[in-house]
Structure 1
Amino acid sequence: MKTIQLVSLFSLFLLASCSAVRVNSDYEKNVDFTLYKTYAFHRTGIDKVEISDIDKKRILRSIDEEMTLKGFTKSESPDLLINFTTKAEKNINVNQFYTGFGYGWGYGWNPYWGGNASVYTNTEGTLIIDLIDAKKKELIWQGEGIGYLTKNTNKKDENIKCFVSKILTQYPPIKK
């Protein structure tokens, strides 16, 4: 029974951390997305991305998995070229908490007033996935995911999978 509870708790944690990724997408309104069945990676664009080769492989593997789930096949003569870019921004947060009650004389030092400040940093990352019409060499769809990054190597695969799957849930777009 405790094993089931732990697995459920762990699954809930994964869903909660994955739900923290915010996604947006944009696309060409006059494109028929049902015509696209095959894909390949746009290597010249991906080679310019300034992240580690290990993280690039993680992203590529996750995109491969998601595209396969959507029914696409990898091809030497693809309908779509897939490119991605990344960026990261470090956030510094300062919280100041005052405790106790003091009776002092105006501004300045007060021995009865206590306070604590906490400073923490986190890194927010952005992953942008571009889908390009291979024949026309035109961008037809772009998805963006923004969320917190981890330096924990044991969680990087999971974190990247989360970003990619959340972004690609918006492809193909649902036209209204």
Structure 2
Amino acid sequence: MKIPALIPLLISCLMLSACTSKPKSDYDTEYDFSQLNSFETVSPSQNDYPLSSSRIEDSIAAALSNQGFVMVQQQADFNVTYSFKVEDKPKKSGLSIGLGTGTWGSGGGVSVGTSVGVPIGSDTAQIQTIQIDIINPKTNKLIWRGTDKFNIDAGGEKKTEETKKTVAKILSQFPPHTK
């Protein structure tokens, strides 16, 4: 394969990786996570988005259960709480530059093109950021925190699915893989 033929493939891979978010997490390096088996969900105080709260709680319970943790009502090995925020972000309408190669007959060539994206409809999008905290119930201290965000394009089933995916991505980093 010629080097110029690899350029479009590399650009495509870079563009795809730029579109996906990667959750961030931090944890207490002195804590022994191997002792954790059961959890209890602690709901935050009232908020303006009860549907989002319910979706997040259900997603946390499902994700942790899928990892083998057992949900209990009291005396859990760890407590899970969460917070979230919804904010407006301007839609991107920037300049894109493309690079292409091709052949025609016995000749070849390289071309460079540009495009300008113009947002249609509203000029803002909503982003929901979810933060999940794992608390040691004996000391009430934070032992792990993960966060990620997603675009809110619509409510209902689409938002439920995005919430599930985002929570699962966050909790895929829990417990941390230490030495």
Contact 1:21 1:148 in 2 (8 A): no
SS at match of 1:47: coil
1:146 paired with 2:129, answer: no
Opposite residue 27 of structure 2, the aligned amino acid is Y
Distance 2:176 2:39 in 1: 17
- Aligned positions of 1:17-36 closer than 5 A: 20-36=20-36
Partner residue in 1 for 2:168:
165
Distance 2:31 2:89 in 1: 38
Partner residue in 1 for 2:89:
91
Distance 1:118 1:151 in 2: 17
Q: How many Å apart are 1:151 and its aligned residue?
A: 2.5
Q: How many Å apart are 1:117 and its aligned residue?
A: 5.7
Runs of 4+ residues deviating >2 angstroms: 19-22, 93-97, 115-120
Distance 2:22 2:61 in 1: 21
Count of matched residue pairs: 139
The partner residue of 1:79 within 41, 65, 77 is 77
Distance 2:172 2:124 in 1: 30
Distance 1:116 1:71 in 2: 45
Identity of aligned residues (%): 26
Q: How many Å apart are 1:21 and its aligned residue?
A: 3.5
Distance 1:116 1:160 in 2: 28
Opposite residue 51 of structure 2, the aligned amino acid is I
Q: How many Å apart are 1:59 and its aligned residue?
A: 0.8
Contact 2:39 2:76 in 1 (8 A): yes
Distance 1:37 1:151 in 2: 36
Partner residue in 2 for 1:101:
none
Q: Deviations over 1:61-92 (max 9, x none)?
A: 11111111111111221111111001122112
1:64 paired with 2:61, answer: yes
Structure 1, unaligned stretches of length 5 or more? 1-15, 98-114
Structure 2, unaligned stretches of length 5 or more? 1-15, 96-115
Q: How many Å apart are 1:94 and its aligned residue?
A: 6.3
Q: What is the RMSD computed on CA atoms of the aligned residues?
A: 2.4
Q: State the TM-score, normalized to the length of structure 2.
A: 0.69
Contact 2:150 2:162 in 1 (8 A): no
Opposite residue 86 of structure 1, the aligned amino acid is F
Distance 1:121 1:42 in 2: 33
Distance 1:164 1:65 in 2: 9
Opposite residue 69 of structure 2, the aligned amino acid is F
Distance 1:96 1:41 in 2: 42
Contact 1:79 1:133 in 2 (8 A): yes
Contact 2:148 2:166 in 1 (8 A): yes
